[in-house]
Amino acid sequence: MAKRRLAVIGAGMAIPPHAQSLLDLAGRVEVAGVFSRERDKLDKFSARFPLPVTDALEPLFADRSSASCCNRASSPTRSSSRG
């Protein structure tokens, strides 16, 4: 079975279980890169997981051999007015 190539978009708080799963599936999955615009998140991720990282999104999308996975945990900011 050929390995599937994946690009992961997002390296925030939800990434650890996904990254571990990708490492566990190393025989079936190749990670083209983990993208984040925030260098500090990439640095923290790199220190913990041996997967390639990038802050350049365009090359990941240009790579036709990989599928993209979005890893986004949104936490909307709520404001309340009292008065």
CATH code assigned at 40: 3.40.50.720
Residue 80 lies in a domain: no
Query: Is residue 22 in a domain?
Result: yes
Residue 45 belongs to some domain of the structure: yes
Residue 36 domain flag: yes
pLDDT tens for 15-64 read: 999 999 999 999 999 999 999 999 999 999 999 999 999 999 999 888 88
Per-residue pLDDT tens over the stretch 11-21: 999 899 999 99
Q: Is residue 76 assigned to a domain?
A: no
How far apart are the C-alpha atoms of 42 and 57, rounded to whole Å? Answer: 13
Three-state DSSP class for residue 17: helix
Domains in the chain: how many in total? 1
Q: 40 lies in which domain range?
A: 4-70
Residue 46 lies in a domain: yes
